[in-house]
């Protein structure tokens, strides 16, 4: 990681050059205004950047990056700031390049099922722009009404519909990039399979360490002829988890399949009041089926039968858009609702094989008992992407360190059963110390060779993804203290 003494940087000429490129209004330098950018959705790490710039075009981004190179100043790209792994956390002497004003949908090509957008475009805006013509954009994180496409690209975000349709990388055809030296390149194109190396695939999920995407060519999908949402409630978590595996084993691939436990159910009913989720249920399963009318009708009965076989108490189904939206409303609000039942929560993002769901959920309950924290489980059950929310109070001294330890045990458990430490939230500053639990030293070195090709000076988002010390304990300490002046609470 490139580090510099704050006193050695004369920011005046740098800021003057930024203003010359972007204009006075596009450069944020007042301390009280910079507080907006001191953290992303992982609020436990905070660092106020010395300056933030808000470009509107590819050329402006390139000029800003060139200035950073000229003065050997690190830079971090930031979208809407909804990330949950500290990926957009500034370092003390870094420039924050905020893409929030790059929010134009540049073109829509319905005949070829394409949309070209800037990185600041909000995820849900893409679907809104094409829904009238019968299309939609499949990746749909729970934060889709506020998260940006640029951030989705950086973290390779998923969402409810990633089970059947894939995560962000499966819907990106081409990218215009500003590389860490300020050069502008185009990778990919407008067709699914381009010859040569899959450079869009390399870039998506690289968390801003290889450059900044300034234009994204997205694949949009035709809306299904028929859609049905089923809600099944169960007396046990194991019964709901068994239904997940049985549905997939039966050859049915739902558009989405989500699970919530009793803590999450009551949290969302307290806040959203859908009156759809039985408060006494141990777990609920939401299953969305789409396709041709006849296909949906048959699979609706098959899914209901599987859930009933596993002990489902009640099964509700909806085909009209208004009721479907109501059934999904609580799931989409689950993270926000957790804030109603706890002063703070810490969310993890592990992935496990579906068949391991009963075992892993039982082990998470054991971790909850061991550390004395309630853990709410709400997650993408179909692809095994867990989102355990550890509920705690960060105003109590030492609590966050214990919560991090509990979260680490959950991630190690995911790896133990053949899974991953991240499904869609990225590694960032939060989980980099667990990378050696999943990858060998040779694996990590190979990844960093790729990083060196694009980012040889280490100026693009330094200190993220890869651990610096070799042991997790040392790396965890660095993740807390590596940024001089980082406020922890």
Can you give the pLDDT at residue 470?
Answer: 44
| Number of Cβ atoms within 10 Å of the Cβ of 354 | 17
Contact 99, 77 (CB under 8 A): yes
What rounded mean pLDDT belongs to the chain?
93
What whole-number distance in Å separates Cα of residue 34 and Cα of residue 20? 20
Can you give the pLDDT at residue 7?
Answer: 53
pLDDT digits (tens, 9 = 90+) for 279-324: 999 999 999 999 999 999 999 999 999 999 999 999 999 999 999 9
Considering only CA atoms, which of 408, 405, 356 is closest in space to residue 385?
Answer: 356
What whole-number distance in Å separates Cα of residue 88 and Cα of residue 98? 10
What whole-number distance in Å separates Cα of residue 351 and Cα of residue 431? 14
Report phi then psi at 322, rounded to 5: -65, -45
What whole-number distance in Å separates Cα of residue 351 and Cα of residue 419? 5
Locate 28 and state its tokens: 């944020």
Q: Which of 167-176, 188-197, 449-458 has the lowest mean pLDDT?
A: 188-197
| Number of Cβ atoms within 10 Å of the Cβ of 132 | 7
Side-chain half-sphere exposure of 353, counting CA atoms within 13 A: 8
pLDDT at residue 482 above 50? Answer: no
Structural domains in the chain, CATH included, are 11-98 (3.30.43.10), 105-222 (3.30.465.10), 235-336 (3.30.70.3450), 342-426 (3.30.70.2740)
User: How much is the average pLDDT of 387-403?
Assistant: 95
Locate 153 and state its tokens: 């690209």
Residue 55, SS3 per DSSP:
coil
Query: What burial class does residue 221 get, using C-beta atoms within 10 Å of its C-beta: 0-12 exposed, 13-18 middle, 19+ buried?
Result: middle
What whole-number distance in Å separates Cα of residue 53 and Cα of residue 60? 10
pLDDT at residue 479 above 70? Answer: no
Can you give the pLDDT at residue 469?
Answer: 54
pLDDT digits (tens, 9 = 90+) for 423-468: 999 999 999 999 999 999 999 999 999 999 999 999 999 999 999 7
CA 445 from chain centre, in angstroms, equals 25
pLDDT digits (tens, 9 = 90+) for 14-38: 999 999 999 999 999 999 999 999 9
């Amino acid at each position: 990681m490139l580090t510099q003494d704050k006193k050695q940087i004369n920011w005046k000429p740098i800021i003057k050059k930024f203003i010359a490129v972007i204009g006075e209004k596009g450069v944020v330098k007042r301390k009280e205004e910079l507080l907006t950018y001191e953290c992303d959705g992982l609020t436990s790490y905070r660092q106020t950047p010395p300056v933030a710039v808000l470009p509107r075009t590819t050329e402006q981004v390139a000029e800003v990056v060139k200035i950073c190179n000229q003065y050997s100043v690190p830079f971090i790209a930031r979208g809407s700031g909804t990330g949950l792994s500290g990926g957009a956390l500034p370092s003390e002497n870094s420039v924050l390049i905020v893409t929030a004003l790059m929010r134009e949908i540049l073109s829509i090509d319905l005949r070829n099922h394409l949309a070209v957008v800037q990185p600041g475009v909000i995820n849900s805006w893409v679907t809104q722009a094409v829904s009238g013509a019968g299309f939609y954009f499949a990746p749909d994180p729970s934060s889709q009404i506020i998260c940006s496409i640029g951030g989705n690209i950086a973290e390779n975000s998923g969402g409810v519909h990633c089970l059947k349709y894939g995560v962000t990388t499966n819907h990106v055809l081409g990218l215009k990039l500003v590389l860490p030296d300020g050069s502008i390149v185009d990778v990919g194109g407008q067709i699914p399979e381009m010859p040569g190396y899959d450079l869009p695939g390399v870039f998506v999920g690289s968390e801003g360490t290889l450059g900044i995407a300034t234009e994204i060519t997205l694949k949009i999908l035709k809306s299904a002829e028929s859609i049905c949402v089923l809600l099944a409630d169960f007396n046990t978590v194991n019964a709901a988890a068994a239904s997940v595996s049985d549905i997939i084993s039966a050859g049915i691939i739902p558009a989405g399949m989500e699970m919530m436990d009793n803590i999450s159910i009551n949290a969302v009913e307290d806040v959203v009041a859908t009156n759809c989720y039985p408060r006494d249920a141990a777990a609920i399963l939401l299953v969305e089926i789409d396709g041709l009318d006849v296909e949906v009708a048959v699979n609706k009965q098959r899914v209901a039968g599987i859930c009933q076989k596993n002990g489902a108490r009640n099964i509700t189904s909806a085909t009209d858009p208004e009721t479907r939206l109501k059934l999904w409303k609580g799931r989409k609000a689950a993270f926000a609702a957790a804030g109603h039942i706890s002063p703070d929560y810490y969310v993890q993002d592990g992935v496990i094989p579906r068949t391991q769901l009963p075992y892993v959920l039982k082990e998470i309950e054991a971790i909850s008992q061991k550390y004395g924290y309630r853990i709410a489980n709400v997650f993408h059950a179909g692809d095994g992407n867990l989102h355990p929310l550890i509920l705690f109070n960060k105003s109590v001294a030492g609590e966050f360190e214990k919560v991090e330890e509990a979260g680490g045990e959950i991630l190690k458990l995911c790896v133990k059963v053949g899974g991953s430490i991240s499904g869609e939230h990225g590694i960032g500053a939060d989980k980099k110390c667990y990378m050696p639990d999943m990858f060998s030293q040779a694996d990590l070195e190979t990844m960093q060779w790729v990083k060196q090709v694009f980012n040889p000076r280490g100026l693009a988002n330094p200190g993220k993804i890869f651990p610096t010390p070799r042991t997790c304990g040392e790396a965890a300490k660095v993740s807390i203290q590596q940024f001089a002046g980082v406020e922890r609470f």
